[in-house]
Amino acid sequence: MIILDGKQTANGIKAELAARVDQLVKDAKRPPHLAAILVGNDGGSLTYVGSKVRSCERIGYESTLIHLPEETTEAEILQQINNLNSNAAIDGFIVQLPLPKHIDEEIVLMAIDPHKDVDGFHPTNFGKMALDMESFIPATPYGIMELLRRYQIDISGKHAVVIGRSHIVGRPMSILFSRKSSPGNATVTLTHSRTKNLPAITKEADIVVSALGVPNFLKEDMVKESAIIIDVGITRVPDSTHPKGYVIKGDVDYEGVKDKASFITPVPGGVGPMTIAMLLQNTFLAYSRHLGV
């Protein structure tokens, strides 16, 4: 069993980006600039956006955080998005999800300029990705593909099962696995809450990607020997014995599954760090397209 170390891999990507930024500064060019809109005080979102801001600082990017109160109206958010769309100093930006219930996420995401949509959620980018055209790939699926590439894992001809059909992870993951590239060319089964006899399907899989958000959902008896296990789940589970009052759990029963897997991602330290690294990669891509460098 080999642990797919997302933290170490992400640090390598950040070091590569930092070197490119250093060269830009030496050439008297400005560094890339990433902005984020955060609405409310969701604990997970605050932690995640904080990690993004610190990562920007570490590699030399400029960053802007627009933190709005929970009661912010949809119109006010759309005005902030319009400001970022028209600001030439901003190369890319994200709107941190989830948004408060009184905000229509679809309307908000549609308002983002696709050329600055470094999360890759806009239909323009999603559609281009599906057609193998140049686009921004959603950061989590992008991170998974990059992790497989850097560990030189060949998935061609393998059966991949994706658990979860969200627009953020599940659906783009199924598209990327099946595309004609490396890594790619897998045969994909996309499963969800209405899938019947899921354990029988996962047990036949060479690769399982779980993006369900249910702690310890994937058990040892649901996977076959030498399967590749990618755990996207990140759930805060209350734990009074822990200093923070909670622990982070993935979708996979790691202790039960790890000895059957050929490769497996840990939680934390697997897919999460890769998501942030690829957001930074997308921001550099947006910068390069924007300034033609």
Distance CA 293, CA 284 (A): 10
This prediction has a pTM of: 0.94
Q: Is the pLDDT of residue 244 over 90?
A: no
Alpha-carbon torsion (191, 197, 199, 201), positive or negative: negative
Instruction: Choose the catalytic residue: 5, 14, 52, 158.
Output: 52
**Residue found under tokens 């890594």:** 183
Q: Is the pLDDT of residue 293 over 80?
A: no
CB-facing half-sphere around the CA of 76: CA atoms within 13 A: 13
Instruction: Choose the catalytic residue: 91, 96, 116, 281.
Output: 96
Out of 22-31, 71-80, 95-104, 232-241, least confident range: 232-241
Mean of the per-residue pLDDT values of the chain? 95
pLDDT digits (tens, 9 = 90+) for 103-130: 999 999 999 999 999 999 999 999 999 9
Direct distance between the N- and C-terminal alpha carbons of the chain, in angstroms, rounded to an integer? 41
Task: Report CA Rg, the chain.
Answer: 19
Our measurement of the distance from residue 247's CA atom to the centroid of its chain's CA atoms, rounded to an integer in Å, reads: 20
3-class DSSP assignment, residue 223: coil
- Show Cβ contacts of residue 140 under 8 Å, excluding neighbours closer than 6 positions: 168, 169, 211, 232, 271, 274, 275, 278
Q: What pLDDT does residue 22 have?
A: 97
Q: What pLDDT does residue 44 have?
A: 78
Q: Tell me the average pLDDT across 38-48.
A: 87
**Residue found under tokens 């950061």:** 139
Distance CA 122, CA 95 (A): 11
CB-CB neighbours of 131 under 10 Å: 10
Q: What pLDDT does residue 122 have?
A: 96
The answer to whether residue 119 is catalytic is yes
Instruction: Choose the catalytic residue: 5, 91, 119, 251.
Output: 119
**Are 93 and 116 within 8 A, CB to CB?**
yes
Q: What pLDDT does residue 242 have?
A: 87
Backbone angles phi, psi at 186, to 5 degrees: -90, 160
Domains and CATH numbers, the chain: 27-113 (3.40.50.10860), 139-272 (3.40.50.720)
Distance CA 238, CA 245 (A): 6
pLDDT digits (tens, 9 = 90+) for 167-206: 999 999 999 999 999 999 999 999 998 999 999 999 999 9
Q: Amino acid identity of 147?
A: L
pLDDT digits (tens, 9 = 90+) for 51-97: 999 999 999 999 999 999 999 999 999 999 999 999 999 999 999 99
Q: What pLDDT does residue 131 have?
A: 94
The answer to whether residue 117 is catalytic is no
The answer to whether residue 52 is catalytic is yes
pLDDT digits (tens, 9 = 90+) for 134-160: 999 999 999 999 999 999 999 999 999
Q: What pLDDT does residue 202 have?
A: 98
CB-facing half-sphere around the CA of 193: CA atoms within 13 A: 4
Pairing type for strands 235-238 and 227-231 reads unpaired
CB-CB neighbours of 14 under 10 Å: 19
Q: What pLDDT does residue 147 have?
A: 98
Q: Is the pLDDT of residue 240 over 90?
A: no
CB-CB neighbours of 53 under 10 Å: 15
Residues above pLDDT 90, as percent of the chain: 89
Q: Is the pLDDT of residue 292 over 80?
A: no
Q: Is the pLDDT of residue 4 over 80?
A: yes
pLDDT band at 284 (very low <50, low <70, confident <90, very high): very high
